[in-house]
Structure 1
């Protein structure tokens, strides 16, 4: 795969600016702030997500109506979301509107004022959002898993908060969180466009150069032991049983994480995976069955999920445990040829994704925010190229020990 020409400049105020130049009419931008739910506690759970909502409610220079009218006139796609570790704003506009887009985003990030009336109204909106997510049994199943896995950690809390915690957030708490975390040294901007690196840096300097702030609080490093056991919960109104196996992968090296990424594709990430074939194609037990990985800082787990009828629970667990056992015995047909096929698939998917400027922004920004290296994904692909059968065997031995099993049953 062709290497991407990426440049990075850190402004005098500490703001990181990353660019990739390509011939395009589109100006794709991503801005990340290291402020998500992992930076919260039980008293302000949901505050990072609430700040995200309030960024659109007005600034020193624009009231809410004018701000949203100006965003609409950009005639592009603007999105913002909160994760466990960060808050991210993305924008795709025509190149000629790129500088205007930067100016508006700088106003939101630097000058938001959080009007009291809008704050009270937005609380109600977020509470409705939480209620809506409570209607998603798969979402609630994972939340139950986190509560069981991390009883002494804030990992167990939902990104949007709880109804109780959101009601308890005061406007002064919101402003304090914004002042503490929305500072240049805690942020990064990534732009993919036909502008040169110097042109983008000059634009960012023009609109963000006066941004100041003290050092943001650093997310404490910590590894939380997951207690392997079976947790069974019941909930009214369910038509399915939701089964999750969770394996602790906090001890894996970066190379082992890459090896697990390949193994994941074989076990349950694709339509041709072992679990998909065994539980869906052969037995018809599940419509939704998959394996997945969280590589989030301080929250690293490998999951196997299946949504099934209650009467098929025991058989489904037997199948999953048989697949894991076969994995340990090297009886899944994992050899150099099958590994090469999975690698080729990853390289193809990555090449397709990188044809999109917005996807490229996501990869570069994720690398910068989470690894302080915008080309992290490229290093991962290079590492992936050297993974062999012995690497896969090694990661199987480390990952597939006793799992935490969470079962959510109809009441």
Structure 2
């Protein structure tokens, strides 16, 4: 049973004790990401995430790693556009140690200047690595342009200039404004004694700041955009982008079904039509990116530059055919079973379970149970799917991002092909 409570200092705790497992996952979720930054400090959320592992009042970086290794546990973190998460997965008998390590990192970071300077080099290398990955570039450059000038457009990694300029003072100034109790959710799933764990958490996080949270700026605008980046690689990497919905929209489960139909698996329209039937590309799929205020529906493909026009034309034809013909009840039932199967299998992993609870409570202040989600998926109708498909695919602000050799690509023709979807 999923339960929620509030720690003494105002941190929200969501937890699910389970008797059928021997492991436990815990995540510290902070409502802070690149959307909360400014152009002047863009990248600081991700930088702070790195620095949390570089030493605290009780442990240096090696001691943090060694202590988790000693208990056979796994500890890590990640930064997204709207949140940051620090998490650990271990055996139930070692949960108290994992809590001690995580809380020590987050409530008593040292941010030593020598460690800051070393980490600047690490993150500059991470930026360079991302610039060598066309799969990352093609998506990142799309978001950077589609969401300009809103804060959603900013890279999570930040800019080289900003990274080089971060100081201990700047890190603590930002940390003290964002890493506050009302901005945090602790999520736990697995084997543990709830009364004991709540007592431990109250003590472990007693030094977390209780000052007021900052208001997030959710203003955004979007325009149709076409971005072409020359890169010396063998394939073209492409993303076709359509406006979509927020994860707070009641139709989010309709979107999940639509995505699975279009490009979410080996029986999807795009995989069968573009790869299996025509052999135009090895990799093609769709995915949705939902944020608090908006969303994106994207189609990704990688292919030989000589097949650019053919891939785009046939991709848009597959969408147009779907808009005309729809889907029958038998195929819809198969899609629903596929989604429910993936969901239920995912919930057998404690880390997935914890992540679902933590993110939902942090961003939506509400958690749907596994049963409620299955019910919502079962309730999706053909009519709702087709209404959403028309809203998404016939929106005039269709955008496109391409990375690869451009010399044989007619950019104006590609723009025209994309814009024709509304009139096919």
Distance in 2 (alpha carbons) for counterparts of 1:380 and 1:370:
17
Instruction: Mark the CA change 1:299 to 1:116 in structure 2 (over 3 Å): closer, same or farther.
Output: farther
Distance in 1 (alpha carbons) for counterparts of 2:291 and 2:195:
32
Which residue of 243, 252, 256 maps to 1:261?
A: 256
- 1:130-145 equivalent positions in 2, closer than 5 A: 130-145=127-142
Secondary structure of the 2:120 match is helix
Distance in 2 (alpha carbons) for counterparts of 1:121 and 1:298:
36
Q: Which residue of 2 aligns with 1:22?
A: 18
Distance in 1 (alpha carbons) for counterparts of 2:81 and 2:322:
31
Q: Which residue of 2 aligns with 1:31?
A: 28
How far has the Cα of 1:299 moved from its partner?
A: 4.6
How far has the Cα of 1:126 moved from its partner?
A: 0.3
How far has the Cα of 1:210 moved from its partner?
A: 3.8
How far has the Cα of 1:254 moved from its partner?
A: 2.4
Q: Which residue of 2 aligns with 1:281?
A: 276
Which residue of 335, 356, 369 maps to 1:363?
A: 356
- More deviation in 110-119 or 162-171? 162-171
Q: Which residue of 1 aligns with 2:39?
A: 42
Which residue of 52, 57, 62 maps to 2:59?
A: 62
Q: Deviations over 1:278-300 (max 9, x none)?
A: 21112222111110001122351
Distance in 1 (alpha carbons) for counterparts of 2:217 and 2:295:
15
Structure 2 spans left out of the alignment, 5+ residues = 407-424
The two structures have a TM-score, normalised by structure 1, of 0.93
Q: State whether residues 7 and 197 of structure 1, in contact with CA within 8 Å, keep that contact through their aligned partners in structure 2.
A: no
Alignment of 1:381 onto 2:374: yes
- 1:388-399 equivalent positions in 2, closer than 5 A: 388-399=381-392
Instruction: Mark the CA change 1:237 to 1:377 in structure 2 (over 3 Å): closer, same or farther.
Output: farther
Which residue of 312, 319, 323 maps to 2:318?
A: 323
Distance in 2 (alpha carbons) for counterparts of 1:165 and 1:153:
18
Instruction: Mark the CA change 1:297 to 1:99 in structure 2 (over 3 Å): closer, same or farther.
Output: same
- 1:100-249 equivalent positions in 2, closer than 5 A: 100-224=97-221, 226-229=222-225, 231-249=226-244
Secondary structure of the 1:255 match is coil
Q: Which residue of 2 aligns with 1:93?
A: 90
Distance in 1 (alpha carbons) for counterparts of 2:270 and 2:36:
35
Q: Which residue of 2 aligns with 1:291?
A: 286
Q: State whether residues 246 and 252 of structure 2, in contact with CA within 8 Å, keep that contact through their aligned partners in structure 1.
A: no
Distance in 2 (alpha carbons) for counterparts of 1:251 and 1:216:
22
Distance in 2 (alpha carbons) for counterparts of 1:239 and 1:323:
26
How far has the Cα of 1:84 moved from its partner?
A: 0.7
Which residue of 335, 340, 365 maps to 2:328?
A: 335
Secondary structure of the 2:251 match is helix
How far has the Cα of 1:216 moved from its partner?
A: 2.3
How far has the Cα of 1:388 moved from its partner?
A: 0.7
- More deviation in 368-377 or 162-171? 368-377
Secondary structure of the 2:54 match is coil
Distance in 2 (alpha carbons) for counterparts of 1:133 and 1:378:
39
Q: State whether residues 191 and 200 of structure 1, in contact with CA within 8 Å, keep that contact through their aligned partners in structure 2.
A: no
Q: Deviations over 1:35-82 (max 9, x none)?
A: 111111111111101001100111122233333332332321111111
How far has the Cα of 1:237 moved from its partner?
A: 1.3
Q: Deviations over 1:168-212 (max 9, x none)?
A: 222211111111111121111111122243232122112113423
Alignment of 1:309 onto 2:301: no
Distance in 2 (alpha carbons) for counterparts of 1:378 and 1:31:
25
CA RMSD of aligned residues (A): 1.8
Distance in 2 (alpha carbons) for counterparts of 1:101 and 1:374:
25
Q: Deviations over 1:147-178 (max 9, x none)?
A: 22122122222211122221122221111111
- More deviation in 344-353 or 44-53? 344-353
